[in-house]
Amino acid sequence: MAHTRLAIVDVEHGHQPMFGDQCGSALVCNGEIYNHRALRGDLEARHHFATRSDSEVILHLFEEEGATCLHRLDGMFAFFAADETRFVAARDALGIKPLYYARDRDGFWFASELKSLLKISGDVAELPPGAFLDEAGTVGRWFSPAWADAASASPAVSSDDLVPMLERAVVKRLMSDVPVGVFLSGGLDSSVVAALARRHVGRLDSFAVGFEGASDLASARTAARALGTTHHECRYDTADLESGLERVIFHLESYDEALIRSALPNYFLCRLASQHVKVALTGEGADEVFAGYGYFAEIRTAQALQAECVRLLFGLHNMNLQRVDRMTMAHGIEGRVPFLDLEFLDWAMRLNPELKLHRPGAPEKTLLRLACEGLLPHEIAWRPKQEFSRGAGVDAPLGDYAKRMVSDAEIARAAQRFPDDPPRTKEAVLYRTIFESFFPGAPARRTVGRWNGRTGALARSRVAVGVVHG
């Protein structure tokens, strides 16, 4: 086992791999366990704790329960735990943290990044969200929420509890021994998270990014002034985008156009934030939970809307969550997503989906806007939704760059060159070409999720490299 640590809790002593007190047990883990103090209180009577790290509770739970310990963890994680006779590699419920595995004649290998495994084996795959792999070589699901069955879901909670439930999720994610900030685009989702976090900290750093004059920069300033955050801005230009593109694709491990467009401004945002904090709260997940995308206006029935929200939530690991994790970790900071807190998610997905249907003359996510309008300036609470890449001003410059870099002849040959997933635009050809230069071959392509507009995110099926000889 090996591990490169981003120290968040028990900075001085929480080094990994960690070693337990039973049967040669050991652990490497990437992530945060938000209920670690409660779990520790139960375990301390039977185990010696060598650190205050949240990860150590996984080690001792594994010693007692094996893979069944996953049901007791509240957090985001990818981990590998083993003793002399068994192991488990596992990933959090929605795949906030990444985990890949490969198999060769020596056994299994696991890593947080695809690039760590491609030279080891051609048999590489992504461990699905909410899944584990054990010493028998079988992949099992540990997360199967009742709300995932859209056909049988029935309303069970009141929307009056939205702000208190979301505030609990935000407060949980303030757990840290290092500075915590918030990404603030000036849109509804990030602004709500910032407003709720600001209630509980003496100082909150907020971060925004964009071209000079970008709408996100102006809206973020408005929100920051109203909330009293210590605000920071990063302005980039076309040359920054062009020079950063290859680095972003290398870290992102994807060639999806929509994902790359949003990852580029996110890369510069994370670079800015890393100069001030080690943890950043983000607004990802709100659109999937509250039906925020424009095409939801075409959905007429509550059951169909619920089913689409469920499908998007289980595809996030290959889309927005992949962007958040890879861009933050590329700069040594951790992204946390309150809207995807499991307790909040269980509550929000048991709301009557009729409340989330788009109504004529009303903006998307009206339910969330009404609940939170008292927390925000009116122009922020009711600001129309805008894609991050568009609000940060990158769409047109990237399209122009692709036109300069990719010839008409190349786009004409694209279907022959990439027959498994043919690029249809010059921008898509550019991204695919860069991706293939870093990650050649079918195994890498099979791990890439794709955003296809109306059909949504299609999922494909920072622990360091480990091998288990079988």
Instruction: Tell me how far apart the alpha carbons of residues 259 and 241 are, in angstroms, rounded to a whole number.
Output: 14
Mean pLDDT for 299-325 is 95
User: Could you tell me which residues are beta bridge partners of residue 222?
Assistant: none
Provide the H-helix boundaries in 350-456: 366-372, 378-381, 388-391, 395-405, 408-417, 426-438, 442-446
pLDDT digits (tens, 9 = 90+) for 245-298: 999 999 999 999 999 999 999 999 999 999 999 999 999 999 999 999 999 999
CA gap 426, 46 in Å, rounded: 60
The separation between the first and the last C-alpha atoms of the chain, rounded to the nearest angstrom, is 15
- Residue-range domain boundaries for the chain: 18-144+464-469, 159-397
Dist CA 70 CA 15 (whole Å): 22
Residue 23 is predicted with a pLDDT of 78
Q: How many CB atoms lie within 10 A of CB 417?
A: 13
**204-221: average pLDDT:** 93
315-370 pLDDT tens trace? 999 999 999 999 999 999 999 999 999 999 999 999 999 999 999 989 999 999 99
d(CA 293, CA 256): 18
How far is residue 74's CA from residue 86's CA, in Å, rounded to a whole number? 23
- Single-letter amino acid code for the residue at 42: D
**Could you tell me the maximum CA-CA distance found in the chain, to the nearest angstrom?**
70
Q: CATH topology of 18-144+464-469 equal to that of 159-397?
A: no
d(CA 324, CA 340): 13
How many CB atoms are located within 10 Å of the residue 127 CB?
A: 21
Dump pLDDT digits (tens) for 117-162.
Answer: 998 988 999 999 999 999 999 899 999 998 988 666 566 678 899 9
Pairing mode, if any, of strands 100-104 and 124-126? antiparallel
Q: What are the two backbone dihedrals, phi and then psi, of residue 458, each rounded to the nearest 5 degrees?
A: -105, 115
Residues 323, 252 contacting (CB under 8 angstroms): yes
Is 2.102.10.10 the CATH classification of the domain at 18-144+464-469? Answer: no
Cis peptide before 17 (omega within 30 of 0): yes
The CATH superfamily label for domain 159-397 reads HUPs (3.40.50.620)
